């Protein structure tokens, strides 16, 4: 059974960079048919798509965050990374990693999520 586990600091200072990892177990991260996504949810709010990354490096980002987001896949460490620069309180949210396939664009697998608070 595929499992995704987010990790990273729970507190980030304003204007700094948020860095999260998603460790994949129970399945391959470098299969030619899977894409890895990041979705976030501000407290009490709905879901916001941040972007997705293919293991060979191609990415798609939400234009609202594109200038600040970088996603990558580290196949040797079996993890997917998210970096978000110049954070503010508006970036406080639970961050989820998730997987969809190349033929099925619904997110079938999700991590449990990690709460990141931006505060000084």
Partner 1 sequence: EIVLTQSPDFQSVTPKEKVTITCRASQSIGTALHWYQQKPHQSPKLFIKYASQSISGVPSRFSGSGSGTDFTLTINGLEAEDVATYYCHQSSSLPWTFGQGTKVEIK
Q: Which residues pair with 114 in a beta bridge?
A: 95
Which of 60, 72 has the CB closer to partner 1? 60
The nearest distance, CB 100 to partner 1, in angstroms, is 8
- If one asks whether residue 10 binds partner 1 (CB under 8 A), the answer comes out as no
Could you identify the residue written with the tokens 């979705």? 39
Please identify, among the stretches 11-19, 24-32, 75-83, 108-116, the one whose residues bind partner 1 according to the rule CB under 8 A: 108-116
Please count the residues of this chain forming the interface with partner 1, following the rule CB under 8 A: 22
Quick one: 16 or 100, whose CB is closer to partner 1? 100
The answer to whether residues 29 and 75 touch, using CB atoms and an 8 Å cutoff, is yes
Strand order in the sheet with 18-25: 3-7, 18-25, 79-84, 69-74
Q: Which of 7, 21, 62, 72 binds partner 1 (CB under 8 A)?
A: 62
Those residues with Cβ within 8 angstroms of residue 62's Cβ, 6 or more apart along the chain or in another chain: 48, 49, 50, 51, 69
Residue closer to partner 1 by CB (options 3, 17) is 3
Q: Is 48 in the site for partner 1 (CB under 8 A)?
A: yes
**Spatial distance between the Cα atoms of 97 and 73, rounded to a whole number of angstroms:** 12
Q: Which residues bind partner 1 (CB under 8 A)?
A: 39, 46-49, 51, 60-64, 96, 100, 104-108, 110-113
């Amino acid at each position: 059974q595929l499992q995704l586990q987010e990790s990273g600091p729970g507190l980030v200072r304003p204007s700094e960079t948020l860095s999260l990892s998603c460790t994949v177990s129970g399945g391959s991260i470098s299969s030619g048919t899977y894409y890895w996504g990041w979705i976030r949810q501000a407290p009490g709010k709905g879901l916001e798509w941040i972007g997705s990354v293919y293991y060979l490096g191609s990415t798609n980002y939400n234009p609202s965050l594109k200038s600040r987001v970088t996603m990558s896949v580290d196949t040797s460490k079996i993890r997917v990374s998210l970096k978000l620069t110049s954070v503010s309180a508006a970036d406080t949210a639970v961050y989820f990693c998730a997987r969809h396939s190349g033929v099925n664009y619904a997110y079938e697998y999700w991590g449990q999520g990690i709460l990141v608070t931006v505060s000084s």
